[in-house]
Homo-oligomer: A and B are copies of this chain.
Amino acid sequence: MGMKVGFVQFEPLFGEVDRNLERAGDLIMGSDADLLVLPELFNTGYVFTSKEETISLSEQIPEGRTTQRLCELAREKETFIVGGLAEKDNGRTFNSAVLVSPGGYIGRYRKTHLFFEEKVWFDPGDEGFKVYDIGTCTVGIMICFDWFFPESMRALSLMGADIICHPANLVLPFCQESMKTRCLENHVFAITANRTGTEARGDTALLFTGMSQVTGPDGSVLFRGGGDSEEVRTVEIDPKAARDKNVNTYNNLFADRRPGFYGDLVGKNTKE
């Protein structure tokens, strides 16, 4: 059964939450998607300068206005939405994403692998990876730099994700091409929603690379956005195509794994 999935790509302005929610809302309202992914930290912008500033701009999930607004949009447009936002929880802050539905809030993900100065601004995610059965498919969430670690999408895929929803604020040039390999090795779809524009605050100026991308389970790029354009785009897919992990009559991507030969090193349980 076909399903329209896609991304919202735009340039958030730092600290202008009202404006960013409005801009994202306008783009969402112009779409006919069944599932849409927004960038990482789409409501606040990216370059924080202190933990205090992060706390001041963060919101509780799901009580905060960003999650509530996404729930309204999801209800109005009868769509599922994944979007990244700064989360506040008892003095801690997380680089999080929420999944909302036409029926309301479903769940959140707190970024596991923080990038660069995010380690100053945020606490590392403390809840791990989760997947959600939303009826038409099962979705998993990871955020930006999580992609660099193959374990992130492997864990989500082994848990049953058909589609990896991937809010991002990419500044390195590797992710879009590498998502072909990530989707191929797990035979899943992925929606990488990146932001655009340059953000300069304090000593830091970052250029975000756009080129948001929907990637197929055979590693093909189903759609790639422009490098500096604001756009909402959807692609029609059959999410069930991700469920057959057979490569041929002899090989299956999951059954052929031999964890006994990589478990001690790859999956060692540590202090966490």
Tally of contact residues, A, Cβ under 8 A: 54
A150-B185, A181-B178, A266-B151 known; A115 vs B251 contact (CB < 8 Å): yes
| B residues in contact with A253, CB < 8 Å | 148-149
- Give the interface segment out of A13-21, A45-53, A154-162, A200-208: A154-162
Q: In this assembly, does A132 line the interface, its C-beta being within 8 Å of a C-beta of chain B? A: no
Residues in B neighbouring A178, C-beta threshold 8 A: 180-181, 184-185
Interface mask (A128-163 → B, CB under 8 Å = 1, otherwise 0):
110000000000000001001111101100110000
- Report B-chain residues with C-beta under 8 Å of the C-beta of A247: 148
Is the pair B113, A256 in contact by a Cβ cutoff of 8 Å?
yes
B267 touches A271 (CB 8 A): no
Check B150 against A154 for contact (C-beta < 8 Å): yes
Stretch at the interface among A93-101, A225-233, A257-265: A257-265
Label chain A's interface by main secondary structure.
Answer: loop
Q: How far is the CA of A184 from the CA of B182 in the complex (A)?
A: 13
Bound complex: CA of A268 vs CA of B129, how far in Å?
A: 16
Interchain CB contact under 8 A, A256 and B117: no
Digit string of A89-133 for contact with B (CB within 8 Å is 1, else 0)? Answer: 000000000000000000000001111111100001100110000
Measured CA separation A261–B269 after assembly (Å):
8
Which residue of chain B is the closest to A152 with respect to CB atoms?
B262
- Known contacts A150-B185, A180-B177, A250-B117; decide if A158 and B265 are in contact (CB<8 Å): yes
Whether A261 and B185, one on each chain, are in contact in the complex, defined by CB atoms closer than 8 angstroms, is no
**Interface pairs (12), CB distance under 8 Å:** A124-B258, A128-B260, A151-B259, A152-B262, A154-B265, A174-B184, A178-B185, A181-B182, A259-B266, A262-B267, A263-B267, A266-B266
